[in-house]
Amino acid sequence: MILVIQAHPYPDRSRANRALGRAIHDLDGLEIRSLYDLYPDFSIDVGAEQRALERATTVVWQHPIYWYTAPALLKLWFEKVLTPGWAYGPGGTALVGKRCLWVATAGGDESSYREGGMHGQPFEAFVPVIRQTAAFCGMRWLEPLVVDGAHRIDEAELSGLGERYRERLRELVAEEGRGEGGGDA
């Protein structure tokens, strides 16, 4: 099973994440958990989240980039759900070997993500924190899907990216069906 954790605080104002979500919502083999729908009061059910993770072979984190990282509720989800003795540290092996796919949308485009540009660094400079969060829990990092310039992207391009996302998840589901997903789920 592929667990898709979505975190968008303003879904009614979203274009990019909404289009990505629409592209995958009816795929078989997925469990989609939309954090801001489940926990509008930020009161995360840690047991429910950990059980969902235990069912998964692949975990997707899908969100817009806010202040160079994940939106607050996903950040809180990391803090609350990825507990010592479960996700890391002695006995903390629940996520070992599971695959992690990061799907992020950024308002800035390539010209703003460079030395001297609006964001000062290439986008890759902001990836290690989230990649290491996965690695710290023993997860296997897959090639991320990053949509940059999300403000200006047109509908045709957006639907192409949605197709790419759908295809990527379909391949991962197929690999899991063939027992190639790894992990212990």
Residue 93 binding ligand FMN, by CB under 6 A: no
Contact segment (CB under 6 A) with ligand FMN among 64-72, 75-83, 92-100, 173-181 equals 64-72
Q: Which of 62, 64, 137, 165 binds ligand FMN (CB under 6 A)?
A: 64
Spatial separation of the C-alpha atoms in residues 37 and 165, rounded to whole Å: 22
Write the secondary structure of the chain as one string of H (helix), E (strand) and C (coil). Answer: CEEEEECCCCHHHCCHHHHHHHHHCCCCCEEEEEHHHHCCCCCCCHHHHHHHHHHCCEEEEEEECECCECCHHHHHHHHHHCCECCCECCCCCCCCCCEEEEEEECCCCCCCCCCCCCCCCCHHHHCHHHHHHHHHCCCEECCCEEECCCCCCCHHHHHHHHHHHHHHHHHHHHHHHCCCCCCCC
Contact segment (CB under 6 A) with ligand FMN among 33-41, 74-82, 104-112, 161-169 equals 104-112
Residue 106 binding ligand FMN, by CB under 6 A: yes
User: Judged by CB, which is closer to ligand FMN: 26, or 155?
Assistant: 155
Judged by CB under 6 A, the number of residues near ligand FMN is 16
Spatial separation of the C-alpha atoms in residues 57 and 96, rounded to whole Å: 10
Contact segment (CB under 6 A) with ligand FMN among 42-50, 59-67, 136-144, 166-174 equals 59-67
User: Judged by CB, which is closer to ligand FMN: 55, or 151?
Assistant: 151
Q: Which of 58, 60, 74, 108 binds ligand FMN (CB under 6 A)?
A: 108
Residue 95 binding ligand FMN, by CB under 6 A: no
Residue 105 binding ligand FMN, by CB under 6 A: yes
Residue 62 binding ligand FMN, by CB under 6 A: no
Q: Which of 150, 161, 172, 173 binds ligand FMN (CB under 6 A)?
A: 150
Spatial separation of the C-alpha atoms in residues 183 and 96, rounded to whole Å: 6
Q: Provide the binding-site residues for ligand FMN, judged by CB under 6 A.
A: 8, 14-17, 64-68, 105-108, 150-151
